């Protein structure tokens, strides 16, 4: 496996992307384009910049900004502009004329008021791909609601797919422990942008790409939601025991062992009972029709059986037999495991001042090469003058930059 900090020859080299977005969904899209070689220019307000700069998680900051901001905005450049200032807006429009992609996640109507709506931008640059993220689309009763990951998990029904139902079927909904909707929405936006760029390569015409957190959340649930759409219209029931899937038969779930936890996925219950030596489970599982219908009872018995031995004991029996199972690892366990170290999934990023922090790398490999980059996120406005000179943008007083290049 090749490993390189060298960004030459990456698929998106030479592509210029303007990232007007904040927080996670839009910036995660722009990050992936940067990882693949694009020159991503982050357009930020001169006073505070991306609000994610102040979104400190786990009390971790890096050179005055949140560590989260540096993780998701690495390898970008920062261009400070007040979009309410006529001079700055003129400079931004000149920047748009010289760019290939523009990303934003303002609420519906904001870009129209500023004068950077899709129609205006595509008139300025017919080859540009105009990409927008909203919370819930541009129409409907929710269009002005805050587009935030936990809120969308809740509104989309996703939170009701996790967590045990409880003895009375009234267990609470459980959200995912990561901002999964933001990340999947960013990935969907990358897909749309790349498709529009491919079309541009054939027709010379740019276009508009729109995604929303809600649509991505629903697409993420396509498997169980399709069953709901073709069913009787009732909410699917979670299991009360070791729940992991509203439609999964026993044994699908996570189980406590004598010294930890292990996951057991799809496998015939009668075969599983034989492998672990449980006559009680074998008797219950003899009739295949009960594997879904009576899954709570089967899971309760399996849980009793698995508690008597360690995770390693059971994995030593089940894995060689082809059962899909795995230990449930904590991050310290994962980080110490050879399977993790083999991936080389972490990298060091450095600020302009030389400070360093650890984060993940791009998960995509190109031509057998893992993609690393030490360049951290930019300081607010650090690249404004350089970008203006490089692209010959108008000066703030309406004149051309004195350091413009042709």
Q: Summarize pLDDT for 255-269 with one digit per residue, the tens.
A: 999 999 999 999 999
Angle of helix 384-391 versus helix 86-97 axis, rounded to 10: 60
Residue 398 pLDDT exceeds 90: no
Name every residue whose Cβ is closer than 8 Å to that of residue 104 and which is 6 or more positions away in sequence: 20, 21, 26, 111, 116, 131, 132, 133
Mean pLDDT of 325-329: 97
Structure tokens belonging to residue 63: 């050179």
The predicted-structure confidence for 125-180, as pLDDT tens digits, reads as follows 999 999 999 999 999 999 999 999 999 999 999 999 999 998 777 899 999 999 99
Q: Which of 3.40.50.1360, 3.20.20.70, 3.60.70.12, 3.30.1540.10 would CATH assign to domain 253-336?
A: 3.30.1540.10
Mean pLDDT of 289-308: 97
Residue 399 pLDDT exceeds 90: no
The predicted-structure confidence for 92-111, as pLDDT tens digits, reads as follows 999 999 999 999 999 999 99
Residue 89 pLDDT exceeds 90: yes
Write down the domain spans for the chain: 2-220+352-391, 253-336
As a dihedral over the C-alpha atoms of residue 210, residue 212, residue 215, residue 218, rounded to 10 degrees, the angle is 140
Higher pLDDT, 401 or 307: 307
Residue 216: the pLDDT is: 98
Residue 296 pLDDT exceeds 90: yes
Residue 352: the pLDDT is: 82
Q: Which fold has domain 2-220+352-391?
A: Rossmann fold (3.40.50)
The predicted-structure confidence for 4-15, as pLDDT tens digits, reads as follows 566 568 999 999
In three-state secondary structure terms, 309 is: coil
Residue 2: the pLDDT is: 53
The predicted-structure confidence for 12-68, as pLDDT tens digits, reads as follows 999 999 999 999 999 999 999 999 999 999 999 999 999 999 989 899 988 889 999
Catalytic residue among 35, 39, 88, 182: 182
182 catalytically annotated = yes
Q: What are phi and psi for residue 335, nearest 5 degrees?
A: -60, -25
């Amino acid at each position: 496996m090749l490993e390189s900090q060298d960004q030459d020859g990456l698929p998106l080299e030479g592509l210029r992307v303007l990232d007007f977005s904040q927080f996670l969904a839009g910036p995660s899209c722009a990050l992936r384009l940067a990882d693949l070689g694009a020159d991503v220019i982050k357009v930020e307000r001169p006073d505070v910049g991306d609000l994610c700069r102040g979104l400190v998680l786990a009390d971790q900051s890096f050179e005055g900004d949140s560590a989260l901001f540096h993780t998701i905005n690495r390898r970008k450049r920062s261009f400070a502009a007040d979009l309410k200032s006529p001079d700055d807006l003129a400079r931004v429009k000149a920047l748009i004329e010289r760019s290939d992609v523009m990303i934003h996640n303002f609420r519906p109507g904001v870009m129209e008021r500023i004068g950077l709506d899709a129609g205006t931008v595509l008139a300025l640059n017919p080859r540009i791909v105009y990409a927008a993220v909203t919370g819930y689309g541009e129409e409907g009763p929710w269009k002005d609601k805050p587009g935030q990951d936990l809120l969308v998990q809740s509104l989309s029904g996703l939170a009701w797919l996790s967590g045990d139902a409880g003895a009375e079927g009234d267990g609470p909904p459980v959200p995912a422990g990561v901002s999964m909707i933001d990340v999947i929405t960013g990935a969907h936006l990358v897909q749309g942008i790349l498709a529009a760029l491919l079309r541009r390569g054939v027709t010379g015409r740019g276009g508009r790409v729109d995604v929303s957190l809600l649509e991505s959340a629903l697409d993420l649930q396509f498997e169980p939601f399709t069953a709901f759409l073709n069913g009787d219209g009732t909410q699917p029931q979670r299991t009360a025991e070791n729940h992991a899937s509203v439609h999964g038969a026993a044994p699908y779930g996570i189980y406590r062992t004598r010294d930890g936890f292990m996951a057991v996925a799809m496998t015939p219950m009668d075969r599983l009972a034989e492998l672990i030596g449980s006559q009680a489970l074998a008797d219950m599982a003899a009739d295949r029709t009960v594997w879904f219908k009576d899954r709570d009872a089967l899971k309760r018995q399996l849980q009793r059986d698995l508690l008597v031995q360690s995770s390693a004991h059971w994995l030593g029996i089940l894995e060689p037999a082809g059962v899909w199972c795995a230990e449930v690892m904590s991050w310290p366990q994962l980080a110490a495991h050879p399977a993790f170290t083999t991936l080389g999934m972490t990298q060091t990023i450095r600020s302009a001042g030389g400070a360093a922090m650890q984060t993940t790398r791009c998960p995509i490999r190109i031509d057998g090469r893992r993609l690393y980059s030490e360049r951290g996120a930019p300081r607010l406005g650090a690249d404004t003058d350089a970008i203006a000179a490089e692209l010959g943008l108008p000066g703030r007083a309406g004149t051309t930059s004195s350091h413009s290049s042709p």
